[in-house]
Chain A
Amino acid sequence: MNVPKLSVQIRDLELHFGEVKVLQGLNLDIGEGEFLVLLGSSGCGKSTLLNCIAGLLDITDGQIFIKGENVTWKEPSERGIGMVFQSYALYPQMTVEGNLSFGLKNARVARDEIKRRVARAAAVLQIEPLLKRKPGALSGGQRQRVAIGRALVRDVDVFLFDEPLSNLDAKLRADLRVELKRLHQQLKNTMIYVTHDQVEAMTLADRIAIMKGGKIMQLGTPDEIYNRPQNRYVADFIGSPSMNFLEGNLENSEFSAGALKLPMKDYPFLNGGASNGETTIGIRPEHVITGELVGRATVQASVRVNLVEPMGSDTLVHADLGGDQIKIRMDGHSKVRSGDDLAIGIDSRRASLFDKKTEMRL
């Protein structure tokens, strides 16, 4: 069980607020040094789960282990975690140095040791010139660096991030994202990171847990989540613009929706291809083939373009496929216009099939 070594284990976690079940029957194993992202829309319970791991919320039932030790009822400061918050949560009346050392002073760490650790964290995050300043005099990016530093000085194995980049503007967010990734490569700590931003999730994560209604919908690597979503919710949630869905029927490994007939012989069925019946197919806009490659696709079709959204690097084309609206992502140079007929191709290996009733992947 301990190969690879586990850093955080969550067993049958339940959290109820009165009648409302915020988290239900949650199990999660996080490996040592892993970067795990909890992803979901607001209210899915991702931040709540993080607060439970931190010990900031008393759970209703279940157990939490950190490095093999049961910490379910331990104080947050005794769990060996550091935490970074969305609003930075820096103590406004203390200097940066005071902020970094507050936790260590509470833990009665020797003064020399505090100095050493603060200096090291400041060096790693390149905030040495700011140590004597108060948070009010810092920019957003600098504040978040200090907030990370506060977790860093604690010398802990598990870092918890609660939407740490959400309050930053887009450019700074991208910069800090890269820095975080670099930091993880350097420190090799376990990091649990909550976000609603899928780009952050995809770029940072070793594994992503997509949550909805207090449950984990899928846990997997970014590649798995993106290319092999386990259910329709995950398929729809991940990817922007979102996946095209067409309702149809699956019979003898052939999917049909209206005039479209798509042989699914090459599709990696989970149960070996025995499924039949009402089925939904999902195709990402970027997986709809256009141009010269159309001929090599599993099946070809013609669509009527009704709206074009040029986005610079790409062009998003909205088109009509036998009565269904689909989105197609083309490159930025395409000269398609509204009203054109466009030849497209679909590759069965890059599509996803879902049972219409259970919404689970076939």
Chain B
Amino acid sequence: MDSAKRPNGLFRNKSAKIASIPMILTALVVFFGGTAWTVFYSFTGSRLLPKVKFVGFDQYERLWSSHRWMISIENLAIYGICSLVLTMVLGFTLAALLDRKIRFENTFRTIILYPFALSFVVTGLAWQWILNPDFGVQAVVRAWGWESFSFDPMNNPDIVIYGILIAGMWQGTGLVMVIMLAGLRGIDEDIWKATRVDGIGLVKTYVQVIVPMMRPVFVTALVIISSGIIKLYDLVVAQTNGGPGISSEVPAKYVIDYMFKAQNLGQGFAASTMMMVSVVIILVPWAYLEFGGKKRD
């Protein structure tokens, strides 16, 4: 090679480029191409097989006039808001408790985090059993003598989503706690010393000093919880399978049922496109700030 001439840019770093082919294919073909493909076909009347027969926004009109989709959205909203607020508050409180230099910290942390190692299917089935109206919590409390006690989310369409919420929280709070705990551990010891010297109370220290300092950690936790919420599927399938009736349906299940069971691909594509749009609106600005701004050196 004539080293006096600038080599062709395409062949510089050749090995790195060859080694990155799987990544490039995944990014371009599956993630970008796949998403674009789905969006494109959401404007067609595809049923059992994808067909390029454009129907404009028909699929979206049908989607938004569908009773089941509206229930799915409503359920996701209730589940989402409750689990966001509760997981954050509980996760932070638990982390703060564990951060008080207590004994058996590892034991407590292990206990609170272990459900996160379990799958949503297992979580859903376990709570389906515990909330079983004939044998579970309701039956036990009644057997203790409180005859009128009633808590039957598995049978009651009005509260079934809260039954799923309890299971979801049980599985996921540990993760948020661990993240928050890492955030608390990252706070300089001197801050604590300073607040003690200044005579600031414990609660006030947390609310006015520590929480504001942990803003990035809260943002991370927020992103994790919300991206988990939109994917809510396995838990519902295992715990209630959308029932009773369609009272615990969620968007992800709507998509998969229409695509793979109801043989109405167009509906599924339109619904999944709606899911993607909502995520893009929420997450892209964050992802840009988080990864776009960071550069090596």
Q: Which residues of A contact B (CB under 8 A)?
A: 58, 63, 69-74
Interface CB pairs A-B, < 8 A, 16: A58-B12, A63-B4, A69-B3, A70-B3, A70-B4, A71-B3, A72-B3, A72-B4, A72-B6, A73-B1, A73-B3, A73-B4, A73-B5, A73-B6, A73-B7, A74-B3
B residues near A63, Cβ cutoff 8 Å:
4
Residue of A nearest to B7 (CB): A73
User: Using Cβ atoms and an 8 Å threshold, which residues of chain A touch B5?
Assistant: 73
Across the interface, which residues of A come within 8 angstroms of B4, CB to CB? Answer: 63, 70, 72-73
Residue-wise, chain B 250-291 has the 8 Å CB interface mask toward A (1 for contact) of 000000000000000000000000000000000000000000
Question: For residue B3, which residues in chain A have a CB less than 8 angstroms away from its CB?
Answer: 69-74
A72→B6 CA distance, assembly (Å): 8
Q: Once the chains are docked, how many angstroms separate the CA of A71 from the CA of B4?
A: 7
Chain A min CB distance to B96 (Å): 38
Q: Name the B residues within 8 Å of A74 (CB-CB).
A: 3
Complex-state Cα separation, A70 to B6, whole angstroms: 11
Per-residue contact bits, chain B 1-39, to A (CB 8 Å; 1 contact, 0 not): 101111100001000000000000000000000000000
In the complex, what residue of chain A is closest to B12 when comparing beta carbons?
A58
| Chain A residues within 8 Å of B12, by CB | 58
B280 to chain A: closest CB distance in Å? 28
**CB nearest neighbor in B for A60:** B6
- By beta carbon, the residue of chain B nearest A55 is B3
- CB-CB < 8 A to A58: which residues of B? 12
* B7 surroundings in chain A (CB, below 8 A): 73
Cβ of A12 to closest chain B Cβ, rounded Å: 14
Q: A58-B12, A70-B4, A72-B6 are in contact. List 10 more A-B contacts (CB 8 A).
A: A63-B4, A69-B3, A70-B3, A72-B3, A72-B4, A73-B3, A73-B4, A73-B5, A73-B7, A74-B3
Residues of B within 8 A of A70 (CB): 3-4
Q: How far is the CA of A72 from the CA of B12 in the complex (A)?
A: 14
A residues less than 8 Å from B6 (CB atoms): 72-73
Instruction: Indicate the member of A70, A71, A72, A73 with the most B CB atoms within 10 Å.
Output: A73
Q: Name the B residues within 8 Å of A71 (CB-CB).
A: 3
CA distance A58 to B5 in the complex (A): 12
* Minimum C-beta distance from B6 to chain A (A): 6
Tell me the nearest residue of chain A to B1, going by C-beta.
A73
Instruction: Enumerate the 5 nearest inter-chain pairs by beta-carbon distance, A residue then B residue, closest first.
Output: A70-B4, A74-B3, A73-B3, A73-B7, A70-B3
The complex places the Cα of A73 from the Cα of B1 at a distance, in Å, of 9
- Complex: chain B residue closest to A59, CB-CB: B6
Closest partner residue, chain A, to B9 (CB atom): A58
Complex Cα spacing A71 to B3, Å: 6
Q: Which of chain A's residues has its CB closest to B6's CB?
A: A73
Query: Which B residue's beta carbon lies closest to that of A75?
Result: B3
Whole-angstrom distance from the CB of B176 to the nearest CB of chain A?
Answer: 36
Nearest-Cβ distance from residue A215 to partner chain B, whole angstroms: 21
Name, among B3, B5, B6, B12, the residue most crowded by chain A CB atoms within 10 Å (CB to CB): B3
> What distance in Å separates the Cβ of A79 from its nearest Cβ neighbour in chain B?
9
Q: How distant is B1 from chain A, measured CB to nearest CB, in Å?
A: 8
Q: Tell me the complex Cα distance, A72–B3, Å.
A: 6
Contacts of A72 in B (CB 8 A): 3-4, 6
Q: Which residues of B contact A69 (CB under 8 A)?
A: 3
Considering the chains assembled together, what is the distance between the CA atoms of A344 and B256 in angstroms?
A: 92
Cα A72 to Cα B1 with chains together (Å): 12
In the complex, A58 Cα to B12 Cα: how many Å?
Answer: 11
Q: Give the complex CA separation of A72 and B7 in angstroms.
A: 10
* Complex Cα–Cα for A70 and B4 (A): 6
What residue of chain B has the Cβ atom nearest to residue A61's Cβ? B6
A69 to B1, CA, bound (A): 13
Distance between B261 CB and nearest chain A CB, rounded to angstroms: 52
Rounded to whole Å, the gap between the CB of A297 and the closest CB of chain B is: 50
* Smallest CB separation, B34 vs chain A (Å): 33
- Rounded to whole Å, the gap between the CB of B209 and the closest CB of chain A is 34
- Please report the C-alpha to C-alpha distance between residue A74 and residue B5 in the assembled complex, in whole angstroms: 10
CB distance from B294 to the nearest CB of A (A): 16
Nearest CB in chain B to that of A73: its residue: B3
Tell me which residues across on chain A come within 8 A of B1, comparing CB atoms: 73
From A74, which residue of chain B is reached at the shortest CB distance? B3
Least CB distance, A158 to chain B, in whole angstroms: 16
The complex places the Cα of A163 from the Cα of B5 at a distance, in Å, of: 31
Report Cα–Cα, A71/B7, bound state, in Å: 12
Residues on B with C-beta less than 8 A from A73 are 1, 3-7
CA distance A71 to B6 in the complex (A): 11
In the complex, residue of chain A having the shortest beta-carbon distance to the beta carbon of B4: A70
CA distance A316 to B183 in the complex (A): 48
Which of B6, B7, B12 has the most C-beta atoms of chain A within 10 angstroms of its own C-beta? B6
State the CA gap A94–B76 with chains docked (Å): 55
Among A58, A63, A69, A71, residue most surrounded by chain B Cβ atoms (within 10 Å): A58
- Which residue of chain A has the shortest Cβ distance to B297 in the bound complex? A17
The chain B residue with its CB closest to the CB of A63 is B4
A74 CA to B3 CA in the complex, in Å? 6
The residue of chain B having its C-beta at the shortest distance from the C-beta of A65 within the complex is B4
- Closest CB in chain A relative to B292 CB, distance in Å: 15
Assembly CA distance A218 to B6 (angstroms): 30
In the assembly, what is the distance between CA of A73 and CA of B3, in Å? 5
CA distance A325 to B228 in the complex (A): 66
A186–B206 CA distance with the chains assembled, in angstroms: 64
C-alpha spacing A69/B12, complex, angstroms = 21
